[in-house]
Amino acid sequence: MKKSYIAIIVAALAMLCGCTQNNGHIGPIFGSWALVGIEEDGKTLPLEGETVFSFQNEILQVMRLESAQYTEVIKYGNFKISDDVLILKFQNHPTENGNYMYMTPDWIHLPLDGNPIKFDVKKLSGSEMVLILNSEEKPLTYTFKKTW
């Protein structure tokens, strides 16, 4: 009887400790990150609503929430991270007039030309991520805090 209790406890712990991973190691970027600041040349730029980046597998979801009206805007793309470089590529999406438009989040000062967006990863810890976007004008610094 005692052995069956131990087996049940071990099985339950094994189920609780497991973590589903797509394509192997999750890595430090996995999860949701709240955008807490954007700086351009040392000057803080205003944020529109609350923006959250969620990374899983090679898929990126960017969501903006505005609490006043509870407006939700969601954009999807792909990401790749290696050697302190994060590359984002947002998907094409058909518009009402039959054309296609890249779904780059336009409210956070990202290039809207549809090309991959390349960030230098300045910091990536368990709780904070700092990305540098070197644009033609001035570099932009994006600071994120991990939400989960």
Per the CB < 8 A criterion, the answer to whether 105 and 51 are in contact is yes
3-class DSSP state of 52: strand
- Could you tell me the two tokens for 87? 């590359």
Task: pLDDT band for 22, please (50, 70, 90 cuts).
Answer: very low
What does the alpha-carbon distance between residue 29 and residue 126 come to, in Å, rounded to a whole number?
Answer: 8
Q: What is the DSSP letter of 14?
A: H
pLDDT at res. 100: 62
> Domains in the chain, ordered, with CATH?
28-146 (2.40.128.280)
What does the pLDDT read at residue 4?
52
Estimate to the nearest angstrom the gap between the alpha carbon of 113 and the chain centroid: 20
The predicted-structure confidence for 61-92, as pLDDT tens digits, reads as follows 898 887 666 667 778 888 999 889 999 998 77
Question: At residue 109, does pLDDT exceed 70?
Answer: yes
